[in-house]
Amino acid sequence: MESLTHSKWDCKYHVVFVPKYRKKALYGKIRLYLKEVFHELARQKGCKIESGSMVRDHIHMCISIPPPKYAVSEVIGYLKGKSAIAIARQFGGRKRNFSGEKFWARGYAVSTIGLEIEIIKNYIAHKEKTDRENEESRF
């Protein structure tokens, strides 16, 4: 759980996106290369990829994004845009003056990953107990 002075958060997202026309392009050297590229790009935005998987025609990732800094759409747009440029430079022979091809399809799917119900139940039970103890010690 991350925190600032007056707030705590655990914001993780399950994100899925696909190559343009759902081409089966994520294999071999591109797959190995993208793994490192995605982790580095996420670090640059202060995010962390908790887990992920690539199959030939789509990517799943669990990414932690700190809410005070960036919106999910901003981070995913950054990952997709910069990774498309990196792929073109590495595998397409383009070295300079390259703004990025459309490697990725427009859009993505995202859902939040919440705390499990057991964790919440334990938190509530523990919180209730500590609140009762604190009330008894007040005067």
* Cβ count within 10 A of residue 75: 21
Of these residues, 13, 21, 108, 123, which one is catalytic?
Answer: 123
Length of the chain: 139
21 is catalytic: no
Give, in order, the Cα–Cα distances in Å from 28 to each of 34, 35, 81, 108.
10, 11, 21, 23
Q: Which helix (H) or strand (E) holds 120?
A: helix 117-137
Active site residues: 123
